[in-house]
Structure 1
Amino acid sequence: MNTFKYIAATALLAGTASPAFAEADTFRPYIEGQLGLAIPSDVDYNSDAVDAALGTPVDAEASIDNALSFGAELGLTLDPVLPGLRTSLGISHRSSDFDDVDVTLGGASTTFDADGDISLTSLQGNLYYDIDLDSRFTPFVGGGLGVTWAKVDSPDSTVPSFDDTDASFSWSLMTGLNFEVTDNILVGGKYRFTRINGFDLEGTIDPANLGFAGPSLDSSYETDAVSLHEVLFTVAYRF
């Protein structure tokens, strides 16, 4: 009888010390890869110097194509101190084409072929909250702050033409769902909305493209804020 009680007590203690309970008291680093679709907003821009030189307002809007988005995050769960929270540092990249630029000059609009490229690379710190459903499925919400670099390249025939890079503050809101394949491997889906403050880019206008005589005008162009909608497939390894 005493032997039976000893075995039963040992089994009970072993069960309460299982890894499933111990993991809640440990910080767990993880790495996540992301691949999906980015849907950018159109980009509006103008230059006060060009407006003054031509004697009339010149506004431009570039139509940006959808793009492949890929990136990675290195993160850490914070369960021992802040249950459900995790933090990460992420980098993401998108490269798009813009084929048309609509230029409004003195109230009249003209569309120019652009054949340009724009790439957006973001470095961002993130904070997520995982909603515990006591299952392999875990929905989450999150937000992030960081910086985004834009590189814009377009030929001389574009109004204006660009070959410049600039950086700007950006922020994101995220939501999604992870599925725990094993204790270490998770797959999931993520929606991310990103808002990027305007860029300041150096560009050149050939007045002949607008029906004016005179030398080329080099100037700084300010863009409005840029928005990105991204749908991403994710794979993570949790150490």
Structure 2
Amino acid sequence: MGHRIARGYQSLRFNSARYFEDEGNIMSTTQIAGGACALLMLAAPQTLLAQDVADGTGFYIGADVGIASISDAEIVYNDGADSAGGQIDTDSAASFGGVLGYDFGTVRTDLEIDYSRNKISALTIDTLNGTAVNLTAQDRADICDFLEVDTCGGSGNTFEFDGSRVRQLSAMANLWLDLPIGSVITPYAGGGLGIAGFELDGEGEGKFAWQIGAGLAFNVSPSAALSLDFRHRQVSSTEIEYDESSGFELGKLETNTFSAGVRFTF
């Protein structure tokens, strides 16, 4: 009787130990599987991003600096009774830009912000009230008074003064076509539509704008490229009012920009 109880006790202890050992194995296996799944979930996005960078696709950011030149712009000043028409000449100026986009491989699309501030070097008046004219000393004095500038130099029909600038801030949605030559050099071309805000004589507004451009990208790594770029941008003409009876009409602004930049894909 005692031997049977002892054997039964030993059998129960042995089976219990096997149960908890098996249960532990089951728990360990479950924990390992769960951990592996978690690691896969964390690693998957990184793997996809790495694959995107490796094949040249993915989101990208960039910045550039360049030289912006404005073609002579037509301008007509009016004071309610008389008008004076001519062109403004500007000096070249630095431009600064930034971009955020997505590279699909051969096609890229991005949103570009650009700023420039060009000094007005001269104003040439060609017409008074729509008629070609050679300005007299009194005409020059009247125009200088209308412009309200501190200094009014120049001679004949040309006025020179300090302080006036054409400021432009544009936001453009672009589409680019990449045509790689080997693995290092990638020519590209494209253009975009958007809005450009400009200011002249402390007055301005935003207008529709379009641009075309082309350039070369030099791939220095799978995720970084240097670029040399040309853009031609045109902003629609507009009318600005100083008050109810005076203001000016500015013709389309055409800006040519040469720039160098850097782009990072991630």
- Normalising by structure 2, report the TM-score: 0.66
Look up the match of 1:229: 256
Q: Which structure shows the bigger proportion of residues in strand conformation?
A: 1
Out of 96, 111, 134, the position equivalent to 2:158 is 111
2:92 paired with 1:59: no
Equivalent residues, number: 191
Other structure's SS at 1:53 match = coil
Distance 1:127 1:22 in 2: 20
Contact persistence 1:167–1:199 (CA under 8 A): no
1:196-235 equivalence runs, <5 A: 196-203=235-242, 218-235=245-262
Question: Given the two structures, how large is their TM-score scaled by the length of structure 1?
Answer: 0.73
Amino acid at match of 1:114: F
Question: Residue 21 of structure 1: CA displacement?
Answer: 8.9
The structure having more radius of gyration, on CA atoms, is: 2
Quick one: which of 177, 198, 205 aligns to 2:216? 177
Report the Cα distance in structure 2 between the residues aligned to 1:93 and 1:22, rounded to whole angstroms.
Answer: 30
The alpha-carbon deviation at position 20 of structure 1 amounts to 7.2
Deviation at 1:58, TM superposition (A): 2.1
Q: 2:228 aligns with which of 169, 184, 189?
A: 189
What's the counterpart of residue 140 of structure 1?
188
From the two aligned structures, give the one with the greater helix fraction. Answer: 2
Two-structure CA RMSD over aligned residues (Å): 2.2
The aligned counterpart of 2:74 is 44
SS in 2 for 1:128: strand
Q: Structure 1 pair 111/235, CA: closer, same or farther in 2 (3 Å)?
A: same
Distance 1:203 1:225, change over 3 A: same
Structure 1's consecutive aligned runs of 4 or more residues displaced over 3 angstroms after TM superposition are: 19-24
Ranges in structure 2 where 5+ consecutive residues have no aligned partner: 1-49, 135-156
